[in-house]
Amino acid sequence: VIIDLMKDVSWADGNAWAPCIIEKKVGKNYKYYYYFSGGKEGEPKKIGVAVADDPAGPFVDSGKPLIDFRPEGIKGGQEIDPDVFTDPKTGKSYIYWGNGYMAGAELNKDMISIKKNTVKVMTPDKTFREAVYVFYRKGTYYFLWSEDDTGSANYKVRYATSKSTLGPLDIPHNNIVIMKDESRGMFGTGHNSVLQVPETDEWYIVYHRISRPDGIKKPYPGTFREVCIDKMEFNEDGSIKQITPSL
């Protein structure tokens, strides 16, 4: 356990969902910034950040939520599913979040506060549900997200591209990254992250799906999951080839 919301966080005691982490060099040393969803029963979900000198912890909560507001114009959804990304071109770091809407903002250099004047609603289209994930490849920023509900067989990953960290987004005609394969009993392939093998153009998608073979038969399949990894490949024009989930 690297942080316990019941013991270590004053503003939340549960809903420790969907975290992300990033390493930053501070002086001669490295620090690790861990962003997570949390909340108290009956209250809106929030996003917090904890800091450590080692990726294994111990992590210390900043003492207050990083995101406890809805962006201007947003009426519904939840403040969950953070993703943190450092732009390799500028060294600036950004946080993205949202359920029902997608938002992004630049982080301050301290990594535990945001530049409020940079908050931007970036919802790509009606397929956006949650779980934005951002990466950079060959001059293009890729924004991946999950469509539908985590308990649905049709939970899937879609994507858009941009030339900027905060959009505008360009949505390809066929933008499905990965989706169910009923013929092999694979359902609910969503909420992904992406790995690049350093110094190569070799990429992998990591995601969860409804556990095989019986998860789909449970009352709420989304609580029965397995974590998976598959190779992610690109066409000559930079578009992502749709992935067939593997065993």
pLDDT at 70: 96
Distance CA 169, CA 28 (A): 36
Q: What are the backbone angles phi and psi of residue 223, rounded to the nearest 5°?
A: -90, 0
Contact assessment for residue 137 and residue 93, using Cβ atoms and an 8 Å cutoff: no
Mean pLDDT of the chain: 97
Q: What is the pLDDT of residues 154-178, one digit of tens each?
A: 999 999 999 999 999 999 999 999 9
Portion of the chain with pLDDT greater than 70, in percent? 100
* Mean pLDDT confidence for 46-59: 96
Half-sphere exposure of 215 (CA within 13 A, CB side): 20
CB 134 within 8 A of CB 141: yes
**Structural tokens at position 188:** 């609910």
In this prediction, residue 140 carries a pLDDT of 98
Tell me, what's the pLDDT at 124? Answer: 98
Give residue 95's pLDDT. Answer: 98
β-pairing, 140-147 vs 130-137, is antiparallel
Structure token digits, residue 232: 């992610």
Q: By the 8 A CB rule, do 68 and 49 touch?
A: no
Q: In this structure, what token pair is assigned to residue 168?
A: 């505008």
Per-residue model confidence as pLDDT tens digits over 64-121: 999 999 999 999 999 999 999 999 999 999 999 999 999 999 999 999 999 999 999 9
Q: Residue 165: CB partners within 8 Å, gap ≥ 6?
A: 85, 87, 92, 94, 104, 106, 134, 141
119-163 pLDDT tens trace: 999 999 999 999 999 999 999 999 999 999 999 999 999 999 999
> Which helix H or strand E contains 6, and what residues bound it?
helix 5-8
pTM, entire model: 0.97
Which tokens hold the place of 233? 């490949």
Q: Averaged over 202-215, what is the pLDDT?
A: 97
